[in-house]
Amino acid sequence: MTMMLTDLPMAIQRSDFAGDFVWGVSTSSYQIEGAAAVDGRVPSIWDTFAATPGKVRDGSTGAVACDHYHRWEEDLDLAQSMGLNAYRFSIAWPRIFNGVDAEPNAKGLAFYSRLVDGMLARGLQPWCTLYHWDLPQYIQDQGGWNNRATVDLYLRYADVMTRHLGDRVKHWITHNEPWCTAMHGNWDGMHAPGNKSLPLALQVCHNVLLSHGRAVPLIRANVPDAKVGIALSLHPVMPASDSATDRAAVSRHDALRNRWFLDVLYGRGYPAQALALVGADAPVVEPGDLEAIAVPCDFLGVNYYFPEVVRDAPDEYPLRAQIVFPPDRQRTDFGWEVAPDGMVTLLERVARDYPTGDLYVTENGSSYDDHLEDGLVRDTARRDYLIRHLAAVRDAIAGGGRIKGYFAWSLLDNFEWAEGYLRRFGLTYIDYETQRRIVKQSGEWYSAFLRGA
């Protein structure tokens, strides 16, 4: 399906948003840094997973990726040249500690200090994500996030990083997408460490959320003027038909996909509906855990990509629901539905139902099969996706949402997890053989938009 120009909100402009609106891009350490064995970095679960035959579609790893570890200045120059005022990055825990009882790695600390200084020198507000899935393998060897002791290891890591960078970094995200950490990593096995156990996944999820809740006051103690939040991958859930059974399936699916996180973060505990569905597979919750998880935060990060359409499926444990893919929808080359209206629905729902405070779109982007031709990447579909979703953010704000910023995913093409290098999400094309960076048409449009052109 080809997008017609008449379908695009071409009149959108930066002046439609508040003057202090945060405009950024998001990245993550394992996806771009490379330098997997440089300056004291030790293996992460993703190094192990990617090295296991059959786990990554193209057989690749993040060992080199975009070589951002050595090319960070060029990449920050790109971000500055686009007219951004913020840059979201994550820290690689395996660069900071090489063992449970080890002292912090000075070279790892120095790298992130240089990176933050580079952002500030270019007028980019640093937004730091402490955990974006690259758990040190030595921690996984002791049970990983299923082991409650990992919460304490995470707190020590968070303590070191906030003390080290807190004089310059004021915006902190404890975790990126705990759904993916827990469910893709431990239920369907699509991501590292590749387990396939629902009770394991739910316990991992609880421990990750507990580490978030316990980290928030620690971060605030180390960085008194910090703004602290968490970034969730959320989806509006739609029924496959108007039948009562499909509508009921929506409620069951939403209970685990969205409310499992939102309810507990905002003081309601885990949804009774979801607990009834998972039964004995529910996580062990110790006294005080739910109160810790529900610590008030300064903002919520929402990562939005597409809606999920579900139908009643009585044989599908535990939700008795199944995701389906209607054939009449516009999709990216990754197969994800292009639905900017879904972003409006989601942001309005979250703002209406939960006391989130400020909302930020911390990821939003699209994957297309880009090609470099005559030195250019004419990714018109991604440019149009960006235009339509920025218009959706504008509409959600007009509807009363306290949305204070937008981070496009991503600055660079990168290692796309289980897809390897087969998927490109970047506003900048990476020629992986030469590591040459070429700003795509979408990146040029974003830059023009941000500069008021």
Provide the annotated active-site residues: 177, 363
Q: Is 305 annotated as a binding residue?
A: yes
Written as one letter, the residue type at 62 is: G
Whether 94 contacts 55, CB under 8 Å? no
Sign of CA dihedral 70, 73, 77, 80: positive
| DSSP code at position 287 | T
Does the annotation flag 23 for ligand binding?
A: no
- Residue partners of 31: CB distance under 8 A and separation at least 6: 62, 65, 66, 410, 414, 415, 416, 417
What is the torsion angle, in degrees rounded to the nearest 10, for the CA atoms of residue 277, residue 200, residue 188 and residue 407? 90
Euclidean distance between CA atoms 108 and 110, whole angstroms: 5
* Residue 31, annotated as binding a ligand: yes
How buried is 281 (Cβ within 10 angstroms: 0-12 exposed, 13-18 middle, 19+ buried)? middle
Helix (H) or strand (E) holding 257: none
Q: How deeply is 274 buried, as exposed, middle or buried, from its count of CB atoms within 10 A (0-12, 13-18, 19+)? A: buried
Q: Are strands 321-324 and 308-312 parallel, antiparallel or unpaired?
A: antiparallel
Of 392, 396, 376, 375, whose CA–CA distance to 384 is shortest? 392
132 marked as part of a ligand binding site: yes
- The answer to whether 249 touches 318, Cβ cutoff 8 Å, is no
SS3 content of the chain, % helix, strand, coil (to 5): 40, 15, 40
Q: With the CA atoms of 364, 370, 375 and 376 taken in that order, what torsion angle do they form, in degrees rounded to the nearest 10?
A: -50
According to the annotation, is 179 in a ligand binding site? no
Q: Return d(Cα 324, Cα 247) in angstroms, integer.
A: 14
Please check if 441 is assigned to a binding site: no
The CA distance from 231 to 298, in Å, is 12
Give the CA angle between residues 338, 259, 147 to the nearest 5°: 110
- Measured at the alpha carbon of residue 376, what is the angle toward residues 372 and 382, in degrees to the nearest 5? 85
Residues with Cβ within 8 Å of 169's Cβ and at least 6 positions away in sequence, in order, are 116, 126, 127, 128, 162, 223
Residues 135 and 29: their CA atoms lie apart, in Å, by 11
Q: Which residues are annotated as a binding site?
A: 31, 132, 176, 305, 409, 416-417
Q: Which residues are annotated as a binding site for substrate?
A: 31, 132, 176, 305, 409, 416-417
